[in-house]
Structure 1
Amino acid sequence: MPEKQTALTIRILGRDYSIACPEGERESLLSSAEYLSRRMHAIQRKGKTLGIDRIAVMAALNIARDLIAAERQLERQSTGLPATDDEITDRLSQLQLRIESALDDRG
């Protein structure tokens, strides 16, 4: 039996989107939308005037890079190998984005 879905409105970079959301996934989807919106806002703040499509692609690429780096880090940790310079640089970049986003949310 298919899982019941409800419509949920999320806001990303100031725009509302109606999304079909499986029951029980509401909070996760809202958190994901907020995270994506923060990442897109950080890109928008840093860059030249970019269209929302380009900002979305850049955010998706950054998030994918972060995911791959996290997977590699978990793999290295499970084998007991130390982090590489690239992994440390990636992690510092992630932390910088989080700091900037938190400061922007307060301001």
Structure 2
Amino acid sequence: MSTSAVEITLLGRTYSIACPKGREDTLRTVANEVESQLTNLKTRTNNLSREELAIMAALNIGNLLIEEKQKNQQYMSQMDERISLLQATLENSLIERSTKDD
């Protein structure tokens, strides 16, 4: 898979990041989210180093990711329950119909 270099800026520093072709916009979107987290943390806590800001931003983003994974898992469980209920309803209807036809 070929890659291209994408330049992103975080806290005033520009980085050239290797990125798979076709995923550049996604990388830029992620970089914008990271920049938003970093800027937000920097304005709230003036005494953190770049490294500490990066760690705090990573923890915040990781927390958001885990919350979304949990929501997705709950949604998938609900859908599995609904599909099972729908299958049972269809099977019961087919059984009722076949017994009426006999």
Instruction: State whether TM-score is above 0.5.
Output: yes
Looking at secondary structure, tell me which structure has more helix per residue: 2
Which of residues 48, 52, 55 in structure 1 aligns to 2:53? 55
Which runs of 5 or more residues in structure 1 are unaligned? 81-107
Q: Contact 1:7–1:19 at 8 Å: present in 2 too?
A: yes
- In 2, distance between residues paired with 1:15 and 1:58? 18
Relative to the length of structure 2, the TM-score reads 0.71
Which of residues 4, 18, 32 in structure 2 aligns to 1:20? 18
Runs ≥4 residues deviating over 3 A: none
Which runs of 5 or more residues in structure 2 are unaligned? 79-102
Sequence identity of aligned pairs in percent? 31
Amino acid at match of 2:65: L
Relative to the length of structure 1, the TM-score reads 0.68
Whose radius of gyration is greater, 1 or 2?
A: 2
- In 1, distance between residues paired with 2:54 and 2:66? 18
Q: How many residues align?
A: 78
